A and B are shown apart, each in its own frame.
Chain A
Amino acid sequence: MNFPILSLITFLPIIGAFFIFIFSSDKTESKNSIYVSLFTSFVNLFLAIFLWYSFDKSTSEFQFIEQASWINGFIKFKFGIDGISILFIVLTAFITPICIISCINSIKQRLKEFLIAILVLESFMIGVFCSLDLVVFYLFFEAGLIPMFLIIGIWGGPRRVYAAFKFFLYTLLGSVLMLVAIISIYWITGTTDVNEIYQIKIPEEFQYLLWLAFFSSFAVKMPMWPVHTWLPDAHVEAPTAGSVILAAILLKMAGYGFLRFSVGMFPVASDYFVPFVYTLSIIAVIYTSLVALMQEDMKKLIAYSSVAHMGFVTLGIFTFTTQGIEGSIFQMISHGVISAALFLCVGVLYDRVHSRLINSYGGVVNILPKYSMLFAVFMLGALGLPGTSGFVGEILVLLGAFQKNYLVAILASIGIILGAGYMLWLYKRVIFGKLEKKELLDLKDLNYSEFSILFVLAVLTIIFGFYPNLILDTIHVSVEQLINNYQNNLILSTLK
């Protein structure tokens, strides 16, 4: 296939944003820009689904490869996908139109700029998952900071400036070390092409420091304990659509980065640092779950639960078993859908009451029955009820973990119980109970667009829960290849 479909998917949103920037005059501003952005994002979604459809699931080779000489011939602009990245592209293309629909009602000022920022961000995020060259990856990975910084800072809550700065500087600080590592990889191997680096194999003595440099970036982005503190702030202050993108996609870049780069390029170092990652993951799972229990702000609670769920992801990746890695990828996709939905649910209440505090609600089920029903689906998905997508991810990760280390697996299981604790308690305090607050009495139930968004997400949660093969089929071959590569490298290094 010669048609540059990956570049099209990547740059189409930017083109859409450009059109909004140029052509919408002040008077018809919001309408035109809404149409253009919806059109762009839906076309992109169809392209992504088409890409998934035409994707060859039986090979672990990179597909749809596009390359062009870029920096003076020594760094190529290379795009390509395999079973791991395709799903994240689809996820990104799927979440963006949802964000756009959700923000039409809730963003009151400067909607046009907001849509431009979202579309530009979409481009950068898809670029991250498409790129097969370290420098190109870094370019998109960092570039995403600019629109996200603006989204939090312009449309955020009262402490938005603090949150935006914290988000930007934390991530930048982690990433610059990755840049040093990328440049050193170029001078060690003579290329930054990921596929070539897989073949060449980075010498063992360099792997440890390089792994740490990449880790510093991904751990901040993931976020792993103890560098997770930017996330609750960013989530709480960001507008709903911003939180959704942050939770659903931006965090996944780090998980993807671990799989593609840390495990793929530095297998020996990855193996060496397993205990370290396990420790951090377990602390993340248990500690942040406990912290989530005590939150009074709904968004903060979900933010901490995200950290806990990401702890499962890192745990799964570093088990290096088929179940563990597939479970992490599944968990990332499922968390992408569920956390997006949860933030949208909080957004629904916030738009009506303008409070995110748990104790300003209670008895919502009496007036918002449809909403409570859908919220229940996502709540149960987040705590990993069988039949929802959350269950599949967690059980696979635990299956993987049990093969490697009983203690870790048992501790992680405690996290699931705590997860059930904070989610159910949240649901009980917000939805059930007596309707006592006067300002809640005249709330209206979900309108058409809110209902359709949440409904689609709920259907996906349940479909993935009952038919996980939809995702697992796509990733299976690539994951096997990743693990084989890892094991071969380990054997080679022990032979030495």
Chain B
Amino acid sequence: MENLNFFLPEIFLSISIFVTLLIGVFIKNSYGIVTKIIYAVIISSILIIGDNFNDNLTLFSNAYTSNSLTNFFKILILISSIFTLAISQNYIKENNINYFEYSLILLLSILGMFVMISSNDLILFYLGLELQSLSLYILASLDRDNLKSNEAGLKYFVLSALASGLLLYGCSLLYGFAGSTNFETINQNIDGKNIGQVVAMVFILVGLAFKVSAVPFHMWTPDVYEGSPSSVTSFFAVVPKIAGIAIFIRFMQIPFQGLVDHWQPILIFISLASMILGAVAAIGQENIKRLIAYSSIGHIGYALAGISTGVIEGYKSTIFYIAIYVIMNLAMFACIFLMKKDGKYCEKISDLSGISKKNPILSICLLIILFSLAGIPPLAGFFAKFYVFMAVIKENMYALAIVGLLSTVVSAFYYLRIIKVIYFDELQLPFDNIKNLSISITLFISCLILVSFFIYPSLLNNIIDVLSIN
């Protein structure tokens, strides 16, 4: 029973969800109060996790594990959830999607991610994954009266269900070969000599790649990003990606450790394809949310490049990458929530035209974020790429490194295009002057991190170095 301490975050989250649900149901117009409670819940969860951060242990006959790696990801998820919630409050209220279920479902998906990250067993993993995904389907179609939002939710649901089906099939196949659903037992019992084991692994990889929207399983991403309300998109672009990368690392590290020769070429292909597609397909986009969708596909490609090395340095560089990616995307969405003309939120890149004359602070923030996304030094995005390619080149994967870096040049083009629209084009209509403390704070903190990161890049590295990846 003492060990339940380590399951406390999940218990706490579930109880809070039920309690807040009751509050939400019994109080009218309860969005405000529910959201406030949920802030409190998230912050307390961070504290609870932080309390046992470094303890390494497994629970429920090895089905559940808690160590510094999972705790790091959980804290990252919680922190980015707070920020995505905080920056989107205005948007949520003004677009009349301020149902109390909104934040509640958000919390439910976080619970799903927690279970998924910590799972050490295929069944628990699948439970967590589905809890997360189901919550995300609802979130995507939350704007009930909007056709596009409905379409996004439905599309996401159908495609994701297919991916889950494949994943589940892979799991059952794996169980057949390994005789167990436990990750460690699977690792001991499979050796890759039987082709069936490889097939099982490929099915699971497909499911995982779908969840992080890596090519060729990315098709849903642009539509869902564009169709969902921006507040939900900001969540989609950040939080599930963290969880997806976390479970990717856990899978490659434990059950598939022995199959490294089999999954490495697959991951290299997925990574290369994502980088190239993310770079090329984004060029023609006019909608900024679609553009971010493609850019996030590209970024996932870089993150997966780190995993595809199959060594600890590679995993670390991926964790590093995803942390920086989260900061950049949060900042980007903070800017998107400031893009408002005549009381209406706009999403076209051409809407940004010439705004540097009237909104200098917003423009300079966008400048920093976009150059950082493009990976130009001395901004933080460069260091993220640098670490990944450090690991990749150490393993002598030169082709991956060179193609990856060349696709950063291509992707630099479309980031530059936005900067061109902001700074070089003529002003059409300035944005409304929005004063929102949480957006300003988010933007300020993230841009400060992006700019000043080069002064002491080891800070994040020191944290990642002590995580238990083995």
Binding site for B on A (CB under 8 A): 69-73, 135, 138-140, 142-143, 145-146, 149-150, 153-154, 160-161, 164-165, 168-169, 172-173, 176-177, 179-180, 183-184, 186-187
Contacts of B457 in A (CB 8 A): 70-72
15 further A-B pairs in the complex, CB-CB below 8 A; given A140-B378, A179-B389, A180-B398: A72-B458, A135-B386, A138-B377, A161-B420, A161-B424, A164-B424, A165-B413, A169-B412, A169-B413, A172-B409, A173-B409, A180-B389, A180-B405, A183-B401, A187-B393
Q: Which residues 237-254 of B sit at the A interface, judged by CB distance below 8 A?
A: none
Contact indicator B409/A165 (Cβ below 8 Å): no
Q: A150-B423, A179-B389 are in contact. Are A143 and B461 (CB under 8 A)?
A: no
Contacts of B406 in A (CB 8 A): 173, 176
Contacts of A72 in B (CB 8 A): 457-458, 461-462, 465
For residue B260, CB closer than 8 A to chain A, the reply is no
Bound Cα distance from A160 to B424, whole angstroms: 9
Contacts of B378 in A (CB 8 A): 139-140, 143
Contact indicator A180/B401 (Cβ below 8 Å): yes
Bound Cα distance from A153 to B418, whole angstroms: 13
Bound Cα distance from A159 to B398, whole angstroms: 37
Contacts of B377 in A (CB 8 A): 138-140, 142-143
Contacts of A73 in B (CB 8 A): 458
For residue B47, CB closer than 8 A to chain A, the reply is no
Residue of A nearest to B465 (CB): A72
In the complex, 7 of the A-B residue pairs with CB atoms within 8 angstroms, ordered by the A residue number, are A70-B456, A70-B458, A71-B383, A139-B454, A146-B376, A154-B423, A165-B420
Contacts of B382 in A (CB 8 A): 139, 142
Contacts of B454 in A (CB 8 A): 139
Give the most central of B383, B398, B401: most A CB within 10 Å.
Answer: B401
Q: Which residues 386-427 of B sit at the A interface, judged by CB distance below 8 A?
A: 386, 389-390, 393-394, 398, 401-402, 405-406, 408-409, 412-413, 416, 419-420, 423-424
Give the number of residues in B that approach A within 8 Å (Cβ atoms): 32
Bound Cα distance from A165 to B418, whole angstroms: 12
Bound Cα distance from A168 to B371, whole angstroms: 12
Binding site for A on B (CB under 8 A): 371, 376-378, 382-383, 386, 389-390, 393-394, 398, 401-402, 405-406, 408-409, 412-413, 416, 419-420, 423-424, 454, 456-458, 461-462, 465
Contact indicator B458/A69 (Cβ below 8 Å): yes
Contact indicator A71/B461 (Cβ below 8 Å): yes
Task: Say how far B463's CB is from chain A's closest CB, in angstroms.
Answer: 11
Contacts of A143 in B (CB 8 A): 376-378
Residue of B nearest to A135 (CB): B386
Bound Cα distance from A346 to B187, whole angstroms: 72
Residue of B nearest to A141 (CB): B377
Looking at chain A's contact residues, the main secondary structure is helix
Contact indicator A176/B409 (Cβ below 8 Å): yes
Contacts of A145 in B (CB 8 A): 376
Residue of B nearest to A181 (CB): B393
Bound Cα distance from A165 to B419, whole angstroms: 11
Bound Cα distance from A135 to B398, whole angstroms: 18
Residue of A nearest to B458 (CB): A72
Task: Say how far A223's CB is from chain B's closest CB, in angstroms.
Answer: 17
Contact indicator A184/B393 (Cβ below 8 Å): yes
* Contact among B402, B424, B456 with A177 in the assembled complex (CB-CB below 8 Å): B402
Q: A139-B454, A153-B423, A173-B409 are in contact. Are A165 and B376 (CB under 8 A)?
A: no
Contacts of B423 in A (CB 8 A): 150, 153-154
Contacts of B465 in A (CB 8 A): 72
Contact indicator B402/A180 (Cβ below 8 Å): yes
Residue of B nearest to A139 (CB): B377
Task: Say how far A228's CB is from chain B's closest CB, in angstroms.
Answer: 19
Bound Cα distance from A135 to B424, whole angstroms: 31
Contact indicator A154/B393 (Cβ below 8 Å): no
Residue of A nearest to B423 (CB): A154
Bound Cα distance from A179 to B389, whole angstroms: 9
Contacts of B402 in A (CB 8 A): 177, 180
Bound Cα distance from A172 to B398, whole angstroms: 18
Contacts of A165 in B (CB 8 A): 413, 416, 420
Bound Cα distance from A179 to B398, whole angstroms: 12
Contact indicator A177/B405 (Cβ below 8 Å): yes
Contact indicator A172/B412 (Cβ below 8 Å): yes
Task: Say how far A304's CB is from chain B's closest CB, in angstroms.
Answer: 26
Contacts of B371 in A (CB 8 A): 146
Contact indicator A71/B458 (Cβ below 8 Å): yes
Contacts of B408 in A (CB 8 A): 172, 176
Bound Cα distance from A50 to B378, whole angstroms: 28
* Contact among A140, A169, A172, A186 with B390 in the assembled complex (CB-CB below 8 Å): A186
Q: A70-B458, A177-B405, A180-B398 are in contact. Are A149 and B390 (CB under 8 A)?
A: no
Contacts of B390 in A (CB 8 A): 183, 186
Bound Cα distance from A140 to B378, whole angstroms: 7
Contacts of B416 in A (CB 8 A): 149, 165, 168-169
Bound Cα distance from A138 to B378, whole angstroms: 9
Contacts of B401 in A (CB 8 A): 180, 183
Residue of B nearest to A213 (CB): B402
Q: A72-B462, A72-B465, A146-B376 are in contact. Are A168 and B393 (CB under 8 A)?
A: no
Bound Cα distance from A128 to B371, whole angstroms: 19
Residue of B nearest to A68 (CB): B456
Contacts of B376 in A (CB 8 A): 142-143, 145-146, 172
Contacts of A146 in B (CB 8 A): 371, 376
Contacts of B420 in A (CB 8 A): 153, 161, 164-165
Bound Cα distance from A474 to B138, whole angstroms: 71
Task: Say how far A97's CB is from chain B's closest CB, in angstroms.
Answer: 24
Task: Say how far B311's CB is from chain A's closest CB, in angstroms.
Answer: 13
Residue of A nearest to B374 (CB): A172
Residue of A nearest to B406 (CB): A176
Residue of B nearest to A168 (CB): B416
Task: Say how far A158's CB is from chain B's closest CB, in angstroms.
Answer: 12
Residue of A nearest to B459 (CB): A72
Bound Cα distance from A154 to B421, whole angstroms: 11
Contacts of A177 in B (CB 8 A): 402, 405
Bound Cα distance from A145 to B456, whole angstroms: 22
Bound Cα distance from A146 to B382, whole angstroms: 13
Bound Cα distance from A356 to B386, whole angstroms: 43
Contacts of B419 in A (CB 8 A): 149, 153
Task: Say how far A120's CB is from chain B's closest CB, in angstroms.
Answer: 11
Task: Say how far A85's CB is from chain B's closest CB, in angstroms.
Answer: 20
Task: Say how far A157's CB is from chain B's closest CB, in angstroms.
Answer: 12
Bound Cα distance from A146 to B364, whole angstroms: 12
Bound Cα distance from A183 to B416, whole angstroms: 26
Contacts of A70 in B (CB 8 A): 456-458
* Contact among B383, B393, B412, B462 with A180 in the assembled complex (CB-CB below 8 Å): B393
Task: Say how far A395's CB is from chain B's closest CB, in angstroms.
Answer: 39
Task: Say how far A147's CB is from chain B's closest CB, in angstroms.
Answer: 11
Contacts of B412 in A (CB 8 A): 168-169, 172
* Contact among B383, B394, B405, B462 with A176 in the assembled complex (CB-CB below 8 Å): B405
Bound Cα distance from A161 to B408, whole angstroms: 20
Residue of A nearest to B405 (CB): A176
Residue of B nearest to A174 (CB): B409
Residue of A nearest to B363 (CB): A113
Contact indicator A187/B394 (Cβ below 8 Å): yes
